[in-house]
Amino acid sequence: MAFRSLDSAPQEQVLAHARSTGYAEGYATGIRAAEQAARAQREAVQLQAAQAQARQAEEQAQALAALRAAGRAVAALAVPPAQESAAALTAAAVELAEAIIGQVLRDEQFAARAAMERAAKLSGTEPVCTVRLNPQDLQLLGRKTLPGSGIELRADAALSAGDAVAELEHGFLDARISTALRRAKDALCGGAP
């Protein structure tokens, strides 16, 4: 007559192996699900960013078109206005430009990026060493150098949001909005830029 062993060790080993196998499979399934969710979230964020950038570009194009239309309207006047009328038209054109630019600059991320790019493009033949920006703009950009160029970006509390100054080896270029508007006003009034 044969007796069965009462030792439960093999049965416990089988249960322990089953538990560890189940845990490993569950863990792997969870990791795959998390990776898939993260990938979907990344794609959604990238799509939203691309859509926002397209909207900003469209708004900027509309603002520039309105500014050009205002300039053409002023230039199309056949009868030379009296000095007062010219000053009033100039003031109105500058106010319109300021309103349009103000509307475009409400998007802080766009304003910061535009200031950085505007300063970098102004240099002409002399290379830009540093671009100074409003500290909040610099923080919005989240970088310390100009992409693709290595040009240093530096905070300057004296600058307003959307403004920039490009430092050159022998001087600087002023890319502030107020300076650009003043140059436009001087040009409209027939003064020196």
- Whichever domain contains 123, its CATH number is 3.30.2320
Mark whether 174 and 133 lie in a shared domain: yes
The reply to whether 7 falls in a domain is no
CB 25: neighbour CB atoms within 10 A? 10
Single residue among 104, 136, 168 that ends a domain in this structure: 104
Burial class (CB in 10 A: 0-12, 13-18, 19+), 120: buried
Beta bridge partners of 173: 166
Tokens 């990344």 -> residue = 42
Give the CA diameter of the chain: 128
The reply to whether 185 falls in a domain is no
pLDDT band at 124 (very low <50, low <70, confident <90, very high): low
Range of the domain at 66: 49-104
Distance CA 66, CA 183 (A): 19
Single residue among 104, 127, 144 that ends a domain in this structure: 104
Mean pLDDT of 156-168: 87
Mark whether 113 and 175 lie in a shared domain: yes
Vertex 182: Cα angle to 177 and 187 (nearest 5): 125
Count of domains forming the chain: 2
**Helix (H) or strand (E) run with residue 19 in it:** helix 9-75
The reply to whether 90 falls in a domain is yes
Mark whether 126 and 167 lie in a shared domain: yes
The reply to whether 127 falls in a domain is yes
Mark whether 100 and 137 lie in a shared domain: no
The per-residue pLDDT for range 37-85, each reduced to its tens digit, is 889 898 888 888 788 788 887 888 787 888 888 777 777 665 555 556 6
Mark whether 118 and 141 lie in a shared domain: yes
- For the question of whether the overall pTM of this predicted structure is more than 0.75, the answer is no
For residue 8, the model assigns a pLDDT of 61
